């Protein structure tokens, strides 16, 4: 009996070790276990991460007065309490405007690991991406001068920028976006999956390891790879057209490529696909198998992959809601009737 138990333990250990190698050979990478390594990986050398910048960036991330209406913040569409998204099929912005292209809000968690930002990959990094939604008419609809006027009108913000960047800092729209990005770069969620790839063979259950094996064998890792398990530009509808492609006018970039969403915390980012037309994870898995891999995944395979994906639920950083400074007489006024 002892021999059988010992043999089972050895077999499990060997399987775990070989699966780790297989995952790495398939292009899967873990978030490093060492916090210093994570910081080095996520920080922008041109705008290094500091505690002062992160705290100020968090304030600006939650600041609704950066929007023309005074109601919408970054957190409105990328809600950190519910998986970094808003749960809507299409993002809702200024004047209750639905995204004109039918696009949903992707999660901001682990976006630092993307090679490109936005569904069409038009931004190279978070600093550039942060400028877009603030100015976009269907989103926050705030001109650059309005945004800088809001921030510079409040002495507490001016002082915070000086503490973060030095007394001679010129507060520009771009610097405001850069600072939001510094905060977003800290929104990393290591999971048991990372512990497994980092060598802890017991971090995943046997069912989760089986699901990872199925995930690799079926070809899911072809697009959902690297640290983000996504984040690169890939062809969409390789084998068959996505059944809801006619919802919204988005067809990808000029080459028809679409930014692959991360699978990290995917259990918390429904509805799925760029236009949020699929409500459940099993249906999303089956549709991806059909249109990307050319396979009809059976129920057992779908359940197995879903079991693995559940292991990607990561530990989120503790976010204490910031107390924002009071408006002053110089703060741009919001016209609630015309805005």
Residues at the binding site for heme c are: 74, 77-78, 94, 220, 223-224, 288
Q: Cα–Cα distance between 22 and 196 in angstroms, integer? A: 12
Q: Cα–Cα distance between 27 and 30 in angstroms, integer? A: 10
What ranges make up the beta strands (E) of 76-185? Answer: 92-93, 97-98
DSSP string, 182-220: HHHTT-----HHHHHHTT-TTSS-HHHHHHHHHHHHTTG
Q: Cα–Cα distance between 125 and 295 in angstroms, integer? A: 34
Are the C-beta atoms of residues 133 and 108 closer than 8 Å to each other?
no
Q: Cα–Cα distance between 55 and 180 in angstroms, integer? A: 9
Q: What is the dihedral of CA 296, 299, 301, 306, to 10 degrees?
A: 110
Estimate to the nearest angstrom the gap between the alpha carbon of 109 and the chain centroid.
4
- For 9, residues 6+ apart whose C-beta sits below 8 A from its C-beta are none
Are the C-beta atoms of residues 93 and 66 closer than 8 Å to each other?
no
Cα 202-17-27 angle, rounded to 5 deg = 105
139 is catalytic: yes
**Which position among 127, 139, 184, 287 bears the catalytic label?**
139
Residue 168 CB-half CA count within 13 A = 0
Q: Cα–Cα distance between 69 and 72 in angstroms, integer? A: 7
β pairing state of 257-259 and 92-93: unpaired
Q: Cα–Cα distance between 253 and 260 in angstroms, integer? A: 12
Q: Tell me how far apart the terminal alpha carbons of the chain are, to the nearest angstrom.
A: 75
Return the active site residues: 139
């Amino acid at each position: 009996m002892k021999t059988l138990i010992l043999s089972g333990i050895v077999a499990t250990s060997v399987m775990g070790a070989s699966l780790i190698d297989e995952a790495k050979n398939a292009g899967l990478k873990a978030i490093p276990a060492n916090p210093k390594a994570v910081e080095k990986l996520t920080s922008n050398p041109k705008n290094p991460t500091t505690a002062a910048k992160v705290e100020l960036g968090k304030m600006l991330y939650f600041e609704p007065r950066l929007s023309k209406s005074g109601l919408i913040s970054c957190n409105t569409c990328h809600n950190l309490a519910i998986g970094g998204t808003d749960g809507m099929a299409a993002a809702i912005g200024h004047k209750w405007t639905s995204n004109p292209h039918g696009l949903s809000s992707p999660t901001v968690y682990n976006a630092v690991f993307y090679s490109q930002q936005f569904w069409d990959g038009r931004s190279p990094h978070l600093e550039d991406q942060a400028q877009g939604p603030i100015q976009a008419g269907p989103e926050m609809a705030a001109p650059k001068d309005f945004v800088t006027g809001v921030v510079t009108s409040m002495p507490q913000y001016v002082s915070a920028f000086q503490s973060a960047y030095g007394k001679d800092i010129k507060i520009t729209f771009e610097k405001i976006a850069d600072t939001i990005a510094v905060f977003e770069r800290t929104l990393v969620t290591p999971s048991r999956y990372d512990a497994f790839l980092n060598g802890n063979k017991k971090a995943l259950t046997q069912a989760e390891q089986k699901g990872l094996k199925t995930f690799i064998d079926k070809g899911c890792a072809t697009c959902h790879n690297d640290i983000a398990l996504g984040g690169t530009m890939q062809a969409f509808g390789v084998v068959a057209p996505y059944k809801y492609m006619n919802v919204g006018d988005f067809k990808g970039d000029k080459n028809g490529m679409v930014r692959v969403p991360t699978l990290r915390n995917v259990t918390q980012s429904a509805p799925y696909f760029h236009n949020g037309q699929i409500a459940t994870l099993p249906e999303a898995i089956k549709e991806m198998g059909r249109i990307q891999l050319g396979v009809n995944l059976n129920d057992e395979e779908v359940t197995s992959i879903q079991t693995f994906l559940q292991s990607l639920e990561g530990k989120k950083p503790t976010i204490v809601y910031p107390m924002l400074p009071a408006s002053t007489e110089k703060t741009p006024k919001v016209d609630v009737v015309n805005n």
